[in-house]
Amino acid sequence: MKLKSLIIGALLLFFGTTGVLFLGGCATGASPQTTAENTIMSSMQALAVSGQVVIAYTALPQCGTPGATAICSNPSIVAQMKIAFNTAVNLLVAAQQQAQSGATVDMTAITSAITTLTNLTSSVKTQ
C-alpha cells in the first residue's frame, strides 16, 4: 500500500507546491490486505478529496484584504482546516503503522478528524 505516498502528495500540495492531487489509491505495490488497511485507504481518499477543497479555498484572497473578491478565504477557517487536515494525516500514519504490525486499529479519532474537515470544506465556497 502506498499510503505514505498519498499523504506526502497531499501534504506537498496542501502547503503550496504545484501539481495534481493524487487520488489513485494503490497505484503501485501491494493492495491493502486487511479490513483496517482498507478502511485506512478509504479514509485517506476522503482526506484527499477534502484536501482539494482546502487547497482551492486557501488559494482565494483573504477576506477583507484589498482586491478580495466576493468569494474569499477566512483566515480563521483556513487555520481550522489546517489543524483538522494535519490531525487526520498524523492519525492515519499512526493507524497504518498499527495495521502493519497487526495491532487493532481504532478509527474513531480518524473518522472524527475527517468529519470535522469535511464539515469545514462543505461550508465554504471556492468558486
SS3 call for 125: coil
pLDDT at 4: 47
Give this prediction's pTM. Answer: 0.68
Higher pLDDT, 45 or 34: 45
Higher pLDDT, 15 or 84: 84
Whether residue 84 has pLDDT greater than 70: yes
Mean pLDDT of the chain: 75
Could you give phi then psi for residue 106, rounded to 5 degrees? -95, 115
The per-residue pLDDT for range 90-118, each reduced to its tens digit, is 998 888 888 888 888 888 888 888 888 88
The per-residue pLDDT for range 61-83, each reduced to its tens digit, is 888 888 777 888 999 999 999 89
Whether residue 40 has pLDDT greater than 80: yes
Report how far residue 35's alpha carbon sits from residue 16's, in angstroms, rounded to the nearest whole number. Answer: 33
Number of helices and strands in the chain (H, E): 4, 0
The per-residue pLDDT for range 3-13, each reduced to its tens digit, is 445 555 554 44
Instruction: List Cα–Cα distances, 91 to 45, 51, 94, 109, 120, in angstroms.
Output: 14, 15, 5, 7, 18
Report how far residue 43's alpha carbon sits from residue 92's, in angstroms, rounded to the nearest whole number. Answer: 8
Q: What single-letter amino acid sits at 19?
A: G
Report how far residue 74's alpha carbon sits from residue 124's, in angstroms, rounded to the nearest whole number. Answer: 9
pLDDT at 76: 92
DSSP state of 30: P
| Angle (CA) 120 99 113, round 5° | 10
pLDDT at 25: 40
Residue 74, phi-psi category: left (phi > 0), alpha (psi -120 to 50), beta (remainder) = beta
